[in-house]
C-alpha cells in the first residue's frame, strides 16, 4: 500500500488527511449509500471548508472511485484471508471463501452495493478499478485451478458438451483475464455459473429481493452449487462450514 516511506513531514500529514477523508467518506456511504456521498458533508465532518477537499481529490467522482477501489480491495482481502485459513487442500478454502464473501457483503451492504449493485448513474469507472475488481474473481479462479489439479473438482461436462456458440463466447472473452494459463471453455462456463449463483444469493439477501434464508440456507445452496460444479461429494460432505 505504501510504496516508499514518506520523507517530509508535509507528506506524512497529507497522507494522513487523505486517509481521514476517505474514512469519513466511507462511513457516509456505509450509512446512506453512494448517493449520500457529498463533499460538503465530508468537509463538515472533518471541520474543514468544502473547498479544501479539492487539494486532495479533483472531484466528487474521484473520491467515489477511491471508495470503489477500497471496497474491491476489502472484499478481496477478506476472501484471500479466508482461503488461507481454509488450508491448502480439501474444501475448507472454498467454503471459507464463499462464506467470507457473503459475510463481508452483509457487514458492508452499502459498500457491496457500490461494487455489485446497480451502477451509479452518471459515474464512469476509470481503468484503475479493473485490477482491484479482479481480486476476488482471481482468488476464486485460483481455487478452481487448484481443485482441478488436485482432482478435488472434476467438471461434469466435457468440452464437447458446451454448444459451439457458447464455447465461442467463453473463449473469446479476453477482457477479464487473470493470472496463469487459460481455462478450457467448459471450466470457464462452470466458474461463471457458480459466480452468478453466488452473486444472486448474496445480492438477494443483501438487497432483500429474496425471502431471507440466512446462513444455513446459503451454505446449503452453495454446497449444491459446488456439487454441480463437480466437487467431490465425499470431500465436500466431510468439510464443515467455517464458524
Partner DNA sequence: TGTACATCAGTGAACGCGCGTTCACTGATGTAC
**Which of the ranges 35-43, 75-83, 151-159, 179-187 carries the binding residues for DNA, by CB under 7 A?**
35-43
Window 152 to 171, contacts with its own copies (CB under 8 A): 162-163, 165-166, 169-170
Per the document, the length of the chain is 243
Residue 91 CA to residue 19 CA, distance in Å, equals 37
Q: Cell triple for residue 141?
A: 479462479
- Cα 38 to chain centroid, rounded: 24
**What residue 49 binds from DNA, its own copies, none (CB within 5 to 8 A, per partner kind)?**
DNA
CB atoms within 10 A of CB 73: 16
CB nearer its own copies, residue 14 or residue 178:
178
How many whole angstroms separate alpha carbon 50 and alpha carbon 37? 13
Q: Of 36, 59, 34, which Cα lies nearest the Cα of 111? A: 34
Per-residue cell: 9: 513531514
DSSP-derived 3-state class of residue 71: helix
Q: Does 210 bind its own copies (CB under 8 A)?
A: yes
Nearest to 63 by CA among 93, 86, 41: 41
Residue with Cβ nearer its own copies (149 or 164): 164
The reply to whether 59 sits near DNA by the rule CB under 7 A is: yes
CA-to-CA separations, 195 to 10, 96, 109, 190, 229, in angstroms, rounded: 45, 15, 18, 9, 11
Report the residue number, 103 or 221, with the smaller CB distance to its own copies. 221
One symbol per residue from 85 to 124: x for binding DNA (CB under 7 A), - otherwise; what is it?
----------------------------------------
| Position among 19, 27, 49, 85 found at the interface with DNA (CB under 7 A) | 49
Q: Which stretch binds DNA (CB under 7 A): 44-52, 76-84, 126-134, 153-161?
A: 44-52
Q: Nearer to its own copies by C-beta: 110 or 145?
A: 110
Kindly tell me which residue out of 14, 38, 90, 207 binds its own copies, with binding defined by CB under 8 A: 207
Contact 132, 147 (CB under 8 A): no
| Site residues for its own copies per CB under 8 A | 32-33, 35-36, 113, 116-119, 121-122, 162-163, 165-166, 169-170, 173, 175-176, 189, 192-193, 195-201, 203-204, 207-214, 216-217, 219-221, 224-225, 228
Amino acid at each position: 500500500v505504501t510504496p516508499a516511506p514518506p520523507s517530509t513531514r508535509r507528506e506524512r500529514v497529507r497522507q494522513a488527511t487523505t486517509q481521514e477523508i476517505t474514512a469519513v467518506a466511507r462511513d457516509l456511504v456505509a450509512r446512506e449509500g453512494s448517493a449520500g456521498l457529498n463533499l460538503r458533508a465530508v468537509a463538515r465532518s472533518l471541520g474543514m471548508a468544502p473547498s479544501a477537499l479539492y487539494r486532495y481529490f479533483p472531484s466528487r467522482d474521484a473520491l467515489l472511485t477511491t471508495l470503489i477501489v477500497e471496497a474491491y480491495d476489502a472484499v478481496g482481502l477478506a476472501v484471500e484471508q479466508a482461503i488461507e485459513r481454509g488450508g491448502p487442500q480439501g474444501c475448507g478454502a472454498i467454503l471459507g471463501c464463499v462464506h467470507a464473501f457473503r459475510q463481508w457483503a452483509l457487514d458492508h451492504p452499502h459498500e457491496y452495493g457500490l461494487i455489485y449493485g446497480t451502477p451509479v448513474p452518471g459515474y464512469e469507472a476509470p481503468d484503475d478499478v479493473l485490477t482491484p475488481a479482479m481480486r476476488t474473481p482471481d482468488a476464486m479462479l485460483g481455487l478452481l485451478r487448484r481443485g482441478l489439479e488436485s482432482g478435488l473438482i472434476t467438471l461434469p461436462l466435457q468440452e464437447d458438451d458446451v454448444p459451439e456458440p457458447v464455447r465461442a463466447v467463453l473463449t473469446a472473452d479476453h477482457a477479464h483475464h487473470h493470472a496463469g494459463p487459460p481455462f478450457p471453455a467448459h471450466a470457464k462456463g462452470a466458474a461463471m455459473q457458480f459466480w452468478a449463483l453466488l452473486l444472486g444469493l448474496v445480492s438477494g439477501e443483501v438487497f432483500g429481493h429474496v425471502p431471507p434464508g440466512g446462513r444455513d440456507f446459503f451454505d446449503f445452496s452453495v454446497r449444491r452449487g459446488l456439487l454441480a460444479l463437480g466437487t467431490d461429494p465425499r470431500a465436500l460432505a466431510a468439510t464443515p462450514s467455517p464458524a
